[in-house]
């Protein structure tokens, strides 16, 4: 038995098998392909969710023809597969490689011929899923070249789809230009904008937790909720991605996309249905109600040296291919005021950063303290007092949910003790290994866009962040680096909450 048999993928989606397909990954020499995409595809294979007629073609500029398949095999093993897994060898045989520059028409013509050859040999019937795992500046070029060679068009009733990795643009204007440019070649129903946080079970579960339980949704508003805190902390640094990160910073890398997707599930009103268009409409409505981000309700930071997981960590400015005077932010915190009847008066705080004290993504819902005269006479005691009701949705790691509430201490007096009820995925459902990409790759092969982001939501999220990023660019920080690696970010992050008498809950 493999150690992947308990993945959510296998239990939830057994009947959903896509048609024969070739997955073509542009930028296949990058980290994402080996670390996430191939392991995810193999998890699907193990769960019996890939068609027999299936192939993967890696495309990149460097000639890796001889090493690509064995290298991907290694990535799959690192992703948890067993050496002796009987499905591994036959899966690796389906992997091949094509070298081309992204601007070379002839390279695409040859790719087209190669894919037609695979159709004949493996029976993949002309169905294509192009995956653009490349730096954003290449998206348009690749899309245009695919169009030029007619590779955007499906033959007969086959289908051609394209997955685009985030970030979708680097501000509102470039996002619009990219969306318009891609739309000149592919129809909206062929375009799948991936945000792998939407593939995470625990993120999808926020929706189910809220709308599937009579217990919580009636209280999910400013009458009962004091504030909400969403943290996406990473202990790693930028992992050799200097050139990318210098342009992105945490705002473009995490806040504008992953955090906004989590926020949407936490805070949106109930959509009419869970159809992509109804969910997107609610998401856009929520994003539009967020009051402008300014220097007053936001904080930026950059890590200096410090200690992470017991090891010395170097400052951001000394990372490979980073400007020694860089003003790129590696930490961001924002206070969102949302002008809707549900949220008016309840701030929602987001924070994300690299080189923080530990890796943890969590949503904390803090309820208002209940004034309760019946319990006022509680005696002195080590757990006296009414607790703060908290719901903690742990997105990763140690996925689960905790609810803190008050309980009478079992003694002949009336002393209320804070206690915690806790649920862990591993206890309820067994080992959990999906990395977020399985579900999304499967959905894209099936043509189901409900867990992908739509251009309206992307552009609305950019409308919120672009003015702030412009303001930050005009007014470079004087105090960078302003937090030590291995801490919870700059002091200003605590001060941001203190202005409203809040503090970050330990996560
Ligand atoms: C990616 C970012 O989108 O998400 C990375 O580019 C980040 O900088 C990663 O490390 C975090 O993903 P996860 O799934 O490990 O939380």
Mean pLDDT of 383-400: 88
pLDDT in tens, 20-31: 999 999 999 988
CA dihedral in degrees (115, 118, 124, 127; nearest 10)?
A: 0
- 440 Cβ neighbours under 8 A, 6+ residues apart: 163, 192, 194, 196, 198, 199, 451, 452
Nearest CA to ligand 1 atom 8: 253
Q: Which residues are catalytic?
A: 258
Ligand 1 pocket mutation pick from 194, 254, 363 by most atoms within 8 angstroms of CB: 254
Q: What is the pLDDT of residue 415?
A: 78
- Predicted confidence band at 369 (pLDDT cuts at 50, 70, 90)? confident
**pLDDT for the residue 9:** 40
User: How high is the pLDDT of residue 7?
Assistant: 38
Q: How far is the CA of 125 from the centre of ligand 1 (A)?
A: 34
- What residue's CA is closest to ligand 1, atom 6? 253
Give the residue whose CA is nearest to atom 13 of ligand 1: 197
166 CA: nearest ligand 1 atom = 3
CA of 290 to the centre of ligand 1 (A): 25
Residue 431 — very low, low, confident or very high, per pLDDT cuts 50/70/90? confident
Mutate-to-test residue for ligand 1 from 32, 234, 240, 316, highest number of ligand atoms within 8 A of CB: 234
Give nearest CA residue, ligand 1 atom 2: 253
Q: Quick one: average pLDDT of 334-339?
A: 98
Atom of ligand 1 nearest to the CA of 258: 3
Q: What is the whole-number distance in angstroms between the Cα of residue 122 and the centre of ligand 1? A: 34
Q: What is the DSSP code string of 111-145?
A: HHHHHHHHHHHH--TT-EEEEE-S-GGGHHHHHHH
How many angstroms is it from 331 CA to the middle of ligand 1? 14
User: pLDDT value at position 375?
Assistant: 73
What pLDDT does 228 receive?
98
User: Rounded to the nearest whole angstrom, what is the distance from the C-alpha of residue 292 to the centroid of ligand 1?
Assistant: 26
Q: What is the pLDDT of residue 254?
A: 97
Question: Whose CA is closest to atom 5 on ligand 1?
Answer: 253
The residue contributing the CA closest to ligand 1 atom 4 is 254
Atom from ligand 1 closest to the CA of residue 236 = 10
Mean pLDDT of 294-323: 97
> Which ligand 1 atom sits nearest the alpha carbon of residue 200?
14
Q: Ligand 1: which residues within 6 Å by Cβ?
A: 234, 253, 436
pLDDT band per the 50, 70, 90 thresholds, residue 380: low
Q: Give ∠ CA 306-308-309 in degrees, rounded to 5.
A: 150
C-alpha distance across the termini of the chain, in Å: 35
DSSP result, 60-120: ESS--TTTHHHHHHHHHHHTT--TT-HHHHHHHTTEEEEE--TT-HHHHHHHHHHHHHHHH
> What pTM, to 2 d.p., does this model score?
0.91
At residue 161, the 3 state secondary structure works out as strand
pLDDT for position 90: 96
The pLDDT of residue 348 is above 70: yes
Q: Which of 195, 196, 203 to mutate to test the pocket of ligand 1 (most atoms within 8 A of CB)?
A: 196
Q: Which two tokens stand for residue 37?
A: 């995409």
Least confident range from 65-74, 151-160, 489-498: namely 151-160
Mean pLDDT computed over 301-318: 97
Q: Is the pLDDT of residue 2 over 70?
A: no
Residue 54 has pLDDT above 70, yes or no: yes
In the predicted structure, residue 371 carries a pLDDT above the cut 80: no
The closest of 259, 225, 282 to 457, measured between CA atoms, is 282
Ligand 1 midpoint to CA 351 (Å): 14
Q: Are 303 and 483 in contact (CB under 8 A)?
A: yes
Compute the average pLDDT of residues 303-325.
97
| 196 token code pair | 């792998």
- Band (5; pLDDT cuts 50, 70, 90): very low
3-class secondary-structure state, position 464: helix
Residues 194-231: tens digit of each pLDDT: 999 999 999 999 999 999 999 999 999 999 999 999 99
Q: What is the pLDDT of residue 3?
A: 36
Range 380-389 average pLDDT: 73
What pLDDT is recorded for position 11? 41
For the cut 80, the answer to whether the pLDDT of residue 285 exceeds it is yes
Average pLDDT of the residues in 71-81: 94
What's the gap in Å between 419 CA and the centre of ligand 1? 33
pLDDT tens-place string over residues 128-186: 999 999 988 899 999 999 999 999 998 888 999 999 999 899 999 999 999 999 999 99
| Residue ID of nearest Cα to ligand 1 atom 9 | 254
Q: What percent of the chain has pLDDT over 90?
A: 84
Strand partners, 240: none
> Which residues lie below 8 Å from residue 100, measured CB to CB, with a gap of 6+?
59, 61, 107, 108, 110, 111
Packing angle, helices 437-446 and 38-46, rounded to 10: 70
Average pLDDT over residues 55-76: 97
User: What pLDDT band is residue 6 in, cutting at 50, 70 and 90?
Assistant: very low
Question: What is the chain's mean pLDDT, rounded?
Answer: 92
- Give me the pLDDT at residue 381, please: 64
Beta strand pairing status for 225-233 and 348-353?
parallel
Distance of alpha carbon 32 from alpha carbon 133, whole angstroms:
7
- The region that residue 239 occupies, defined by phi over 0 for left and psi between -120 and 50 for alpha, beta otherwise, is left
Give every CB contact of residue 501 below 8 A, 6+ residues apart in sequence. Answer: none
User: In terms of Cα–Cα distance, which of 42, 43, 84 is closest to 432?
Assistant: 43
- Average pLDDT (347-370) is 96
């Amino acid at each position: 038995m493999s150690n992947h048999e308990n993945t959510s993928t296998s239990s939830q989606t057994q009947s959903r098998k896509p048609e024969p397909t070739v997955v073509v990954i542009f930028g296949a020499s990058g980290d994402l392909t080996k670390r996430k995409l191939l392991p995810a595809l193999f998890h699907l294979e193990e769960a019996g969710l890939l068609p027999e007629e299936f192939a993967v073609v890696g495309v990149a500029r460097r000639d890796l023809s001889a090493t690509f398949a064995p290298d991907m095999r290694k990535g799959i093993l690192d992703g948890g597969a067993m050496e002796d897994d009987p499905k591994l060898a036959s899966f690796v045989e389906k992997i091949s490689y094509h070298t081309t520059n992204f601007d070379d028409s002839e390279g695409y013509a040859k790719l087209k011929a190669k894919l037609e050859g695979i159709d004949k040999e493996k029976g993949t019937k002309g169905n294509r899923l192009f995956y653009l795992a490349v730096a954003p500046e290449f998206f348009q070029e690749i899309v245009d070249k695919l169009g030029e060679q007619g590779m955007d068009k499906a033959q007969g009733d086959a289908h051609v789809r394209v997955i685009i990795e985030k970030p979708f643009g680097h501000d509102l204007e470039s996002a619009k230009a990219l969306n318009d440019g891609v739309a000149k070649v592919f129809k909206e129903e062929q375009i799948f904008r991936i945000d792998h946080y939407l593939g995470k079970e625990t993120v999808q579960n926020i929706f189910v937790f809220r709308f599937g339980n009579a217990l919580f949704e009636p209280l999910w508003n400013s009458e009962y909720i004091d504030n909400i805190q969403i943290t996406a902390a990473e202990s790693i640094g930028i992992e050799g991605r200097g050139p990318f990160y210098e342009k992105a910073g945490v705002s473009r890398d995490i806040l504008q996309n992953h955090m906004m997707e989590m926020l949407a599930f936490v805070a949106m009103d109930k959509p009419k249905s869970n159809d992509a268009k109804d969910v997107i409409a609610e998401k856009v409505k929520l994003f539009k109600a967020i009051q402008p981000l300014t220097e007053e309700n936001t904080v930026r930071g950059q890590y200096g040296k410090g200690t992470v997981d017991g090891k010395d960590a170097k400052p951001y400015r000394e990372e490979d291919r980073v400007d020694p005077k860089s003003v790129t932010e590696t930490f961001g915190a924002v206070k969102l005021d949302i002008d809707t009847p549900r949220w008016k008066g309840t701030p929602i705080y987001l924070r994300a950063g690299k080189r923080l004290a530990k890796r943890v993504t969590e949503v904390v819902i803090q309820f208002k303290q209940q004034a309760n005269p019946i319990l006022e006479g509680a005696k002195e005691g080590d757990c006296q007092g009414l607790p703060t009701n908290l719901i903690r949705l742990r997105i990763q790691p140690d996925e689960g949910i905790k609810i803190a509430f008050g309980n009478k201490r079992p003694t002949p007096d009336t002393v209320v003790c804070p206690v915690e009820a806790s649920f862990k995925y591993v206890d309820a459902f067994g080992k959990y290994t999906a990395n977020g990409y399985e579900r999304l790759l499967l959905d894209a092969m099936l043509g189901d866009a409900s867990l992908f982001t739509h251009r309206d939501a992307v552009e609305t999220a950019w409308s919120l962040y672009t003015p702030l990023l412009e303001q930050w660019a005009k007014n470079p920080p004087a105090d960078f680096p302003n937090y030590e690696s291995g801490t919870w970010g700059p002091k200003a992050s605590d001060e941001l909450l203190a202005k409203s008498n809040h503090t970050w809950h330990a996560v």
